[in-house]
Amino acid sequence: MGSIFRPQVDYFVEYLKIQNHYKVIDMDQWMGFYRFCNEISFPEMTEYNPELAWPLVLNNFVEWIREKQA
C-alpha cells in the first residue's frame, strides 16, 4: 500500500505517532484508510465528507491534515 499511496501513508504514520487515542489500528480502520486512499484526492481532500461512514480515526486524521495546511 505504501508504494502506491506513499504521501497518504507517510502522513498517516506521522499522525499515528503524535496522536494518543489509538494504540492499535484494527482491520476496519485499515480498510477505511485503503478506501480513503482510493476515493479521496490527496492532499486536497475536497471529496472528503465526515458525515459519511468513515472510521473516526480518519475524521481525526483529515482534521489534523487540514490544520497543518492552514
Task: Give this prediction's pTM.
Answer: 0.91
Instruction: Give the position of cell 481532500.
Output: 45
What is the per-residue pLDDT for 64?
Answer: 97
Report how far residue 48's alpha carbon sits from residue 41's, in angstroms, rounded to the nearest whole number. 8
Residue 1 has pLDDT above 90, yes or no: no
Give me the amino acid identity at 63.
E
What is the per-residue pLDDT for 2?
Answer: 76
Task: Kindly give, in sequence order, each residue whose CB lies less than 8 Å from that of residue 29, ignoring residues fewer than 6 positions away.
Answer: 22, 55, 57, 58
How many Cβ atoms are within 10 Å of 57's Cβ, its own excluded? 21
42-69 confidence digits (pLDDT tens): 999 999 999 999 999 999 999 999 999 9
Report how far residue 53's alpha carbon sits from residue 4's, in angstroms, rounded to the nearest whole number. 24
